Amino acid sequence: MSNSYDPQSSPILPTANPPAWLGVMGGGQLGRMFAQAAQSMGYQVAVLEPVLEPGATCPAGQVAQRLVNAGYDDGAGLDALAAQCLAVTTEFENVPAGSLSRLAQSVFVAPNADGVSVAQDRIAEKRFFVGCAGKSGVLPAPHKVIASEADIAAIDDELLPGILKTVRMGYDGKGQVRVRTRDDVRAAFAGMGQVTCLLEKMLPLAYEVSVLTARGVDGASVVYPIAENVHRDGILFTTTVPGPNVSADCAAKAQRAAQAMVAELAYVGVLCIEFFVLADGSLVVNEMAPRPHNSGHYTMDACVTSQFAQQVRAMARLPLGDTRQHSPAVMLNLLGDAWFADDSDAIREPAWDQVLALPGACLHLYGKDDPRRGRKMGHLTLVAATLPEAQQRLHEACLILGIAP
């Protein structure tokens, strides 16, 4: 299939109407849920994923019409994806930006390499946040690049205690170490192989929120209700919407900031930006993900347009969808721990029949056949007429699954 337009020179791109092919870089659960949303709208989906073991499957590859088994920087695989599809997106931010640039030579790519490359590098991300502060009204935490022993010696006392983070490839709490002294920084820096890191000052955090926004190729943008997040061991545990602690003023400020940032990036697609709300009520921007996000899964069951359907709309150059939330919701990440009883190594299937007997329970499993502790296997969204009802259902679901509420 050949493309009928030049994505670099066409000021107005044609709509990609069904049953056109849409492509996804990455075969994980986000790619799977994107594919399912696209297929429900009549599109066909091709996934590029380096499945390395014979007979192995990936969550997105199980449902897509085509799986291109190639590395993310494999030229032949990228060319095959571009030849098949009218538009390509990515399901995670660590796809090589150069690969997205190559695809963009012949096919519409959303988000593009520039937007993704900012989110791939914590230094570039912090530089963007600082540069955008005049429009967004928020700043990141005080921070410093740590690339050498000299950088450690020059740390300002005001930056400690802090968190030392690798500049690239960190997610779900990986690549992060809490540090209180310069000696802690030295030890952590050595433990990370002396790769370039970023030291961020620890702030008096009250809670964390995430803002899901989307922007179309025409510059129009939309924003979802504010999600309040709770993490355990660096992994998202629950997302509650509306956030029980989020004031109207805080929500409005976070939403305005997110829309300013997505505009400044000239971004197309779904973008999630995480903020810290401090004890004094002030807002600090933390990081962003250039894709649908774990904290946005509640939109599949509680909003008019899910985050995945929104991504389809943006990359197909369709009008963006209604972000209205019709039901209060709490989303629970389902980790592989739920497949094990206490400290046992024996795998047992969770009691889904009891979970699904709960009013408003919406179960999403990702097709992974190898439960491991800490591995994301699915999520459960509890929707209800009121937030207290949804929170009560969450409590009941955790008891059934053997998860500490």
Domain holding 36: CATH number? 3.40.50.20
> What total number of domains does the chain contain?
3
Q: What is the mean pLDDT of residues 202-222?
A: 96
Query: Of 201, 232, 248, which residue constitutes the final position of a domain?
Result: 201
Known binder of ligand: residue 173? yes
Q: What is the mean pLDDT of residues 117-130?
A: 95
Question: Do 35 and 100 fall into the same domain?
Answer: yes
Q: What is the mean pLDDT of residues 151-176?
A: 85
Answer for the pair 336, 318: CB distance below 8 angstroms, yes or no.
no
pLDDT of residue 173: 57
Question: Do 220 and 261 fall into the same domain?
Answer: yes
Q: Tell me the average pLDDT of the chain.
A: 93
Answer for the pair 63, 39: CB distance below 8 angstroms, yes or no.
yes
3 state SS of 403: coil
Known binder of ligand: residue 372? no
Query: Of 91, 109, 127, which residue constitutes the final position of a domain?
Result: 109
Question: Do 252 and 368 fall into the same domain?
Answer: yes
CATH number at residue 219: 3.30.470.20
DSSP 319-362: PPPP--B-S-EEEEEEEGGGGB-TT---B----HHHHHTSTTEE
245-259 pLDDT, tens per residue?
999 999 999 999 999
Q: Half-sphere exposure of residue 225, counting CA atoms within 13 Å on the CB side?
A: 27
In a domain? residue 126 = no
Known binder of ligand: residue 215? no
pTM of the entire predicted model? 0.93
| Cβ contacts of 233 within 8 Å, gap of 6 or more | 173, 374
Phi then psi for residue 165, to 5 deg, are -125, 140
Residue 176 has pLDDT above 90, yes or no: no
In a domain? residue 2 = no
Known binder of ligand: residue 176? yes
In a domain? residue 36 = yes
- Tokens 């199980």 belong to 62
In a domain? residue 118 = no
In a domain? residue 3 = no
Q: What is the mean pLDDT of residues 7-15?
A: 55
Known binder of ligand: residue 336? no
252-297 pLDDT, tens per residue?
999 999 999 999 999 999 999 999 999 999 999 999 999 999 999 9
Question: Do 265 and 175 fall into the same domain?
Answer: no
Question: Do 282 and 395 fall into the same domain?
Answer: yes
C-alpha distance across the termini of the chain, in Å? 51
Phi then psi for residue 16, to 5 deg, are -90, 100
CATH number at residue 164: 3.30.1490.20
Q: What is the mean pLDDT of residues 117-123?
A: 93
Residue 170 has pLDDT above 80, yes or no: no
Known binder of ligand: residue 201? yes
3 state SS of 198: strand
pLDDT of residue 11: 46
Amino acid identity of residue 150, one-letter, is: A
Known binder of ligand: residue 200? yes
In a domain? residue 117 = no
Amino acid identity of residue 60, one-letter, is: A
Known binder of ligand: residue 286? yes
Residue 57's pLDDT band, with cuts at 50, 70 and 90, is confident
Q: Which residues does residue 107 pair with via DSSP β-bridges, in sequence order? A: none
The single-letter DSSP state of residue 159 is G
pLDDT of residue 146: 95
Nearest-5° angle of CA 65, CA 71, CA 76?
A: 75
Question: Do 174 and 219 fall into the same domain?
Answer: no
In a domain? residue 177 = yes
Known binder of ligand: residue 281? no
Spatial distance between the Cα atoms of 103 and 101, rounded to a whole number of angstroms: 5
Question: Do 314 and 213 fall into the same domain?
Answer: yes
Question: Do 211 and 260 fall into the same domain?
Answer: yes
Q: What is the mean pLDDT of residues 37-41?
A: 98
Query: Of 84, 109, 134, which residue constitutes the final position of a domain?
Result: 109
In a domain? residue 312 = yes
Known binder of ligand: residue 122? yes
Question: Do 280 and 300 fall into the same domain?
Answer: yes
Q: Give the residue from 321, 322, 318 showing the smallest Cα distance to 16.
A: 318
Question: Do 209 and 164 fall into the same domain?
Answer: no
> In which domain, by residue range, is 215 found?
205-401
Spatial distance between the Cα atoms of 238 and 294, rounded to a whole number of angstroms: 10
Known binder of ligand: residue 6? no
Spatial distance between the Cα atoms of 384 and 123, rounded to a whole number of angstroms: 41
Question: Do 257 and 330 fall into the same domain?
Answer: yes
44-48/66-68 β-pairing: parallel
- Tokens 């129009």 belong to 220
pLDDT of residue 341: 85
pLDDT of residue 13: 62
Question: Do 158 and 170 fall into the same domain?
Answer: yes
